[in-house]
Amino acid sequence: MACSSAAMAWRASVRARALPTSRWTQRPATILPKRVERYPGASRYASESAAPAPTEAVKETAKDTVKEAAKETAKENAKEIPRKAGRGSRKALYTTSLALTLLVGYIYGTDTRASIHRYGIVPLIRLLYPDAEDAHHMGVDNLKMLYQFGLHPRERGEPDRDGALSTEVFGYNLSNPIGISAGLDKHADVPDALFDLGPAIVEVGGTTPLPQDGNPKPRVFRLPSQHAMINRYGLNSKGADHMAAVLKQRVVDFAYAAGFGQQELSEQRVLDGEANVPPGSLVPGKLLAVQVAKNKLTPDSDIEAIKRDYVYCVDRVARYADILVVNVSSPNTPGLRDLQAVAPLTAILTAVVGSAKSVERKTKPYVMVKVSPDEDSTEQISGICEAVWRSGVDGVIVGNTTNRRPDAIPKGFVLPEEEQKTLKETGGYSGPQLFDRSVALVARYRALLDQGPPSSTESENSENAVAKAPSDVPRKVIFASGGITTGQQAHAALQAGASVAMMYTGVVYGGIGTVTRVKQELRKELTK
């Protein structure tokens, strides 16, 4: 009995010591001497089983130990609970702040109006990606990934809703007259993400019949002081079958999301306009242009083979396009620009128009030809216009990159040594220096096309080509491309006779908010 009360007292003291207070568990060395000091001989109880019966004093001591331990624990808990509560509210504060920061960051970072895109992201990309092509791939890949997660930048607040910029093109009422031109989305990876940046036209491609690598790298160069570029990509393409598959999947996904189901028929219903959206863009007030070109290895002298190249592409992608663009103006495919002569151009365009007309879709895609800014003699321009009339093509994109090396801006500016070297690279030059020539060329095409078909014009496509008075035939549509970077320039291009002002290099240097900014500037121009 005496033995068991001693054991109980020990266990009590051990339990008391074992109470899970942080002080006790963290600092045993500081606690043990205290116990020894307070209860001399306590260690004996634990080791000596045959100890004499505990006296009253010992029992009291044991009780005291338990009480003391309980008090200590209560004190510790009293301190710990507010500390824990403090930690809890701090944690909540941090979590809320983090969530708010992420939300504000998301709203700001995904708004095309945010100046960080132009003044932060663009310089950062240039710094991190000295090779302009790497920067291009990174940009497209990231935009694609962000779009998949709904985190892509977009135009907020529907600025086009007031209709101030709306314009009619090919019978469609477009939300605005701004476009993104070919080459930025070469493989149709991000047409929807590009539409969300604000343009009414997105041109994807150019695509070629067979996949081709293009020229060896490096093949894209920056001239930062000029906000210009030189590229000799050479129409690198994954091929028309690839592009058709990507565009088809896009329509299938759209059809499913719009409640048309997943059958083959659903795709056709969307393409036939049952969703009340243009079959290419799938967005009201916007149009998707798909650019086609020939393979580099198709011989320049074999016009039949060249026609087959273009028709092959059209047969694959036309179903998914609102506008088909025939590229005969890239400076980086040898012999391509020679196809702008009247006879070959008429033959190619006639074949393309014929193929576009046979697309299985209620509305057929319109066809445009993209011409070079370098073939600009009166003879060359009238030859192209003649081919346009004879083939029944609906419009012209004026123009493309130039083989010329324009004067620096501002006048008299001397390029840094590095850029003077870059200027010697082979390839097409693009950027603001093209603007004056582009706008002048647009005006010349406008004037010539508005004269109607040349009287000698014989219809190659009897259905499409024209032998009527100019007033009876639809006006040929012009899109301007070359050096447009501001709303004032877009306005000038429209005034010169274009229906749409397209941009590429301006977006590279201005960032993903460029279209929104240019439209805002254009609105101001229109109210002047």
Ligand X SMILES: Cc1cc2nc3c(=O)[nH]c(=O)nc-3n(C[C@H](O)[C@H](O)[C@H](O)COP(=O)(O)O)c2cc1C
Binding site for ligand X (CB under 6 A): 181-183, 186, 206, 220, 229, 231, 233, 235, 291, 327, 330, 370, 400-401, 430-431, 434, 481-484, 503-506
CA 470, CA 411: separation in Å to the nearest integer? 42
Q: How far is the CB of 320 from ligand X (least distance, A)?
A: 18
Closest to ligand X by CB, 9 vs 314, is 314
Nearest of 144, 330, 309 to residue 239 by alpha carbon: 309
Closest to ligand X by CB, 268 vs 330, is 330
Q: How far is the CB of 329 from ligand X (least distance, A)?
A: 7
Q: How far is the CB of 332 from ligand X (least distance, A)?
A: 8
Any idea which residue has 């509305």 for tokens? Answer: 363
Label residue 21 left, alpha or beta by phi (over 0 means left) and psi (-120 to 50 means alpha): beta
Q: How far is the CB of 188 from ligand X (least distance, A)?
A: 12
Q: How far is the CB of 430 from ligand X (least distance, A)?
A: 3
CA 342, CA 457: separation in Å to the nearest integer? 11
DSSP 237: B
330 noted as active-site residue: yes
CB 234 within 8 A of CB 296: yes
CB 344 within 8 A of CB 352: no
Closest to ligand X by CB, 176 vs 327, is 327
- Across the chain, which distance is largest between two alpha carbons, in Å? 134
Signed CA dihedral, 78, 79, 80, 84: sign only:
positive
Closest to ligand X by CB, 482 vs 497, is 482
Closest to ligand X by CB, 176 vs 330, is 330
Nearest of 57, 13, 7 to residue 34 by alpha carbon: 13
Q: What is the 3-state secondary structure (H, E, C) of 133-199?
A: HHHHHHHHHHHHHHHHCCCCCECCCCHHHHCCCCEEECCEEECCCEEECCCCCCCCCCHHHHHCCCC
Nearest of 523, 484, 475, 476 to residue 175 by alpha carbon: 523
SS3 477: strand
Using CA atoms, how far residue 408 sits from 248, 326, 420, in Å, is 44, 31, 11
Q: How far is the CB of 330 from ligand X (least distance, A)?
A: 6
Q: How far is the CB of 290 from ligand X (least distance, A)?
A: 11
CA 411, CA 170: separation in Å to the nearest integer? 39
Q: How far is the CB of 118 from ligand X (least distance, A)?
A: 16
CA 100, CA 106: separation in Å to the nearest integer? 10
Residue 340 CA to its chain's centroid (Å): 32
SS3 317: helix
Angle between helices 303-317 and 342-357 in degrees, nearest 10: 30
CB 112 within 8 A of CB 103: no
Q: How far is the CB of 498 from ligand X (least distance, A)?
A: 13
For ligand X, the nearest residue by Cβ is 183
The tokens describing 359, both together, are: 């697309």
Detail the DSSP E strand segments found in 389-485. Answer: 395-398, 428-430, 477-481
Closest to ligand X by CB, 176 vs 231, is 231
Tell me which of 175, 181, 281, 330 is the catalytic residue: 330
Question: Which residues belong to the active site?
Answer: 330
